[in-house]
């Protein structure tokens, strides 16, 4: 798996690079427990270290929202990233086929096909993409290179409060599916119609 795993880690794998025997109907998803997240940014640092994200850029980030009316206030802290949308506008708008849907519905960018036209960046409802200094568009890969080895994404693995859960939402036995059944959840900007797969437990 060495070479293909490296390609996926860099986000550069294309369709057909999936290992033999990959389940065709996986639906990788993530839950973010907003009642657990303290905004420590360990997920951001783990991602940068794991994926060699260049200085000044990030593939995941922390959003803090304060709502209410003083003095009755509530805070919500969310760890956010690419939503690996089921009906991804970035993939639809990519003119070269570089942005594509890979194993488990994970949205990836094939670097050597990307001309850096930025149509996918404009199309993304979550502003989750950016232009890598090397000229291609980059984003969260759900750490597919780790997932294919049976590991969790770097952000999930490092989270000290158990905020992040990753798994196959189409498998009813998976932790993600159970959390989505048992807890109330929401997604960011459902009005985009893209079908995001990062769910926030509230």
Partner 1 sequence: MNTLIEATTTRANPGIDPSLHIWGWEIVVYLFLGGLVAGIFVLAAALELRSGEKPRGPALRLTPFAALALLSLGMGALWLDLAHRLWAWRFYLFFHATSPMSWGAWILVLIYPVGLLLGLGSLNADQRAWLRGKTPGALATLLETFFGWADAGRRGILLTSVVMGVSLGIYTGLLLGTMPSRILWNSAVLGPLFLASGISTGAALLLLLPLDESERKTLLRWDAAAIVAELVLIALMLLGFATSGETGQWAASQFLGGPYTAVFFSCVVVLGLLVPLLLEVVEAKRHLPFATILPVLILTGGLALRWILLTAGQHSAFRFLP
- Binding marks (x or -) toward partner 1, 100..139, rule CB under 8 A? ------------xxxxxxxx-xxxxxxx-xxx--xxxx--
CB 140 within 8 A of CB 30: no
In this structure, the number of other CB atoms found within 10 A of the CB of residue 195 comes to 14
**Size, binding site for partner 1 by CB under 8 A:** 54
Nearest alpha-carbon partner for 108 in 73, 144, 80, 152: 144
CB 50 within 8 A of CB 143: yes
In this structure, the number of other CB atoms found within 10 A of the CB of residue 156 comes to 24
Which one, 170 or 192, has the nearer CB to partner 1?
A: 192
Q: Which of 15, 95, 160, 162 binds partner 1 (CB under 8 A)?
A: 95
Residues of this chain, 169-198, that bind partner 1 according to CB under 8 A: 188-189, 191-194
CA angle 191, 197, 202 (to 5 degrees): 80
Which one, 114 or 176, has the nearer CB to partner 1?
A: 114
Which one, 178 or 195, has the nearer CB to partner 1?
A: 195
CB 153 within 8 A of CB 166: yes
Q: Which of 86, 93, 170, 185 binds partner 1 (CB under 8 A)?
A: 93
Which one, 6 or 134, has the nearer CB to partner 1?
A: 134
- Its sign, for the CA torsion 131, 132, 136, 140, is negative
**Smallest gap from residue 173 Cβ to partner 1 (A):** 34
Q: Whose structure tokens read 């850029």?
A: 57
Which tokens hold the place of 154? 């770097």
- Binding marks (x or -) toward partner 1, 7..46, rule CB under 8 A? ----------------------------------x--x--
Q: Which of 29, 94, 156, 169 binds partner 1 (CB under 8 A)?
A: 94
Q: Does 69 bind partner 1 (CB under 8 A)?
A: yes
Which tokens hold the place of 190? 């459902």
Q: How far apart are CA 71 and CA 11, in angstroms?
A: 46
- Residues lying near partner 1 in the complex (CB under 8 A): 41, 44, 56-58, 61-70, 73-74, 80, 89, 92-98, 112-119, 121-127, 129-131, 134-137, 188-189, 191-194
């Amino acid at each position: 798996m060495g070479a293909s795993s490296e390609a996926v880690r860099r986000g550069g794998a294309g369709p057909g690079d999936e290992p033999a025997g990959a389940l065709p109907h996986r639906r990788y998803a993530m839950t973010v427990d907003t009642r657990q997240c303290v905004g420590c940014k360990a997920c951001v640092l783990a991602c940068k270290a794991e994926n060699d994200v260049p200085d000044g850029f990030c593939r995941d980030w922390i959003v803090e929202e304060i709502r209410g009316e003083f003095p009755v206030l509530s805070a919500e802290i969310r760890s956010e990233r690419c939503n690996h949308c089921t009906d991804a506008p970035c993939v639809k708008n990519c003119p070269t086929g570089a942005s594509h849907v890979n194993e488990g519905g994970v949205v990836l960018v094939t670097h050597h096909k990307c001309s850096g036209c930025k149509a996918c960046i404009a199309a993304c409802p979550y502003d989750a993409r950016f232009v890598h200094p090397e000229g291609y568009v980059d984003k969260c890969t759900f750490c597919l290179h780790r997932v294919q080895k049976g590991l969790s994404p770097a952000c999930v693995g490092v989270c000290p409060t158990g905020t992040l859960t990753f798994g196959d939402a189409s498998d009813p036995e998976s932790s993600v599916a159970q959390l989505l059944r048992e807890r109330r959840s929401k997604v960011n900007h459902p009005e985009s119609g893209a079908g995001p797969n990062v769910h926030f437990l509230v």
